[in-house]
Amino acid sequence: MTMISEDVVSRENDRRLADLKSDYAHLGAQLARRGVDIDAVKAKVAAYAVAVPSWGVGTGGTRFARFPGEGEPRNIYDKLEDCAVIQELTRATPTVSLHIPWDKVPDLKELKERGAALGLGFDAMNSNTFSDAPQQEHSYKYGSLSHASAATRQQAVEHNLECIAIGNALGSKALTVWIGDGTNFPGQANFTKSFERYLDAMKDIYKGLPDDWRLFTEHKMYEPAFYSTVVQDWGSNYLIAQELGPKAYCLVDLGHHAPNVNIEMIVARLIQFKKLGGFHFNDSKYGDDDLDTGSIDPYRLFLVFNELVDAEVRKAEGFSPAHMLDQSHNVTDPIESLMRSAMEVCRAYAQGLIVDRAALAGYQDGNDALMASETLKAGFRTDVEPILAMARLDAGGAIDPVATYRSAGYRAKVTGERPAVASGGGGIV
């Protein structure tokens, strides 16, 4: 079954096919002069996948307000349908990353079958101990896995073990743990004791991890705590992965760093020491803005992918990062934002693939800073859109996903089926 009619996709593609073929041939000739086989790049792009977060298809908000969009998904089944639209048109997002308890359902078999019927699998599970669920015994107001109270920590551990059990039933192979634990005041908590308690709790979660699973820990510099967070930076994150063991890896969310931090170098370090677990892609200007991937600083995204391609090309040991989008869509149709973001990561990947790595290494070793920079930037400057569009077309997707989505009238259709949600107070999703 498809959410977007194949007739609409064909009609929209037919309108653009001649231009695409011409653009692809032209780019192919350009790349051939640079020693790059366009079909080989296209094949790699076609095999690339990035997971969509279930919470991403709902309209996001800030701590000031949330302005709901039209036809918002009511539950995980609606969310899966929206995620299927993204996959059908982009062919780059075959999996969905769930969030518990938001996506909790009584019948996991039904959920798995529904995903399969829509052509979707399940990516990393995300636990939530940064807010209180209804009827929860102990509050996370003052922390969860690092809480001073053993009973609260135990409750948080059990929640994570439940996420593993749910993921196991759905075919997931990873758990992502991000905690909101931290402080707003110097002196509010003892840094060392908090981190010791966190590590002890994480060891209990790690023990419950199946052999073929990976555990991703996600650091975040600030927010919701504004003075210190327990898992503050990639250094703390690396220490956690080292303490826990071989199934523990560091997850890099592009928005969770101080401004101007060299994220691509952090990526390189984690690859070198075999602890890069994966990514949450987004973009930002001032902080953890959760803006659309590649919308503010596409060059930074390219530089991250340059490190990933470098590791891929040299077959770096233990290199198998998970890729996911993690954004908040406050002023756009979330489906459109997620499609465009998925295409942006594909673009950065393709641009990384066409960098002349032999020439780059030569300039690096020869201390030719200008030509090294020029060689790297040549990849970023290349408009690889024909490669991305042709990969989508070959896989049954849309040459222009956003235009095709609008032409299909999906948002108007679901707006008629899904009741409007009242506007309300703050709340980032």
Measured from the CB atom, the residue of 253 and 307 that comes closer to Mn ion is 253
Query: Under the criterion CB under 5 A, does residue 288 sit at the interface with Mn ion?
Result: no
- Indicate the residue whose CB is closest to Mn ion: 280
Distance CA 300, CA 265 (A): 11
Q: Residue 324: enclosing H or E segment and its boundaries? A: strand 322-325
Q: Cα angle at 382 between 310 and 379, to 5 degrees?
A: 20
What the block records as the tokens of 200 is 């002890």
Distance CA 120, CA 113 (A): 9
Distance CA 266, CA 280 (A): 14
Measured from the CB atom, the residue of 99 and 280 that comes closer to Mn ion is 280
Q: Which stretch binds Mn ion (CB under 5 A): 81-89, 160-168, 180-188, 246-254?
A: 246-254
Q: Which of 77, 169, 164, 84 lies closest to 125 in space, CA to CA?
A: 164
Measured from the CB atom, the residue of 202 and 390 that comes closer to Mn ion is 202
Query: Under the criterion CB under 5 A, does residue 253 sit at the interface with Mn ion?
Result: yes
Q: Which stretch binds Mn ion (CB under 5 A): 113-121, 245-253, 267-275, 418-426?
A: 245-253
Determine how β-strand 228-229 pairs with β-strand 182-183: antiparallel
Residue window 301-330: x/- pattern of binding to Mn ion, with contact defined by CB under 5 A: -------------------------x----
Q: Which stretch binds Mn ion (CB under 5 A): 143-151, 277-285, 353-361, 404-412?
A: 277-285
Query: Under the criterion CB under 5 A, does residue 280 sit at the interface with Mn ion?
Result: yes
Count interface residues toward Mn ion (CB under 5 A): 3
Measured from the CB atom, the residue of 153 and 280 that comes closer to Mn ion is 280
Closest separation in Å from C-beta 253 to Mn ion: 4
φ/ψ of 32, rounded to 5, equals -60, -40
Name the E strands within 171-232. Answer: 174-177, 182-183, 214-218, 228-229
Measured from the CB atom, the residue of 240 and 387 that comes closer to Mn ion is 240
Distance CA 301, CA 296 (A): 10
Measured from the CB atom, the residue of 197 and 257 that comes closer to Mn ion is 257
Interface with Mn ion in residues 179-238 (CB under 5 A):
none
Binding site for Mn ion (CB under 5 A): 253, 280, 326
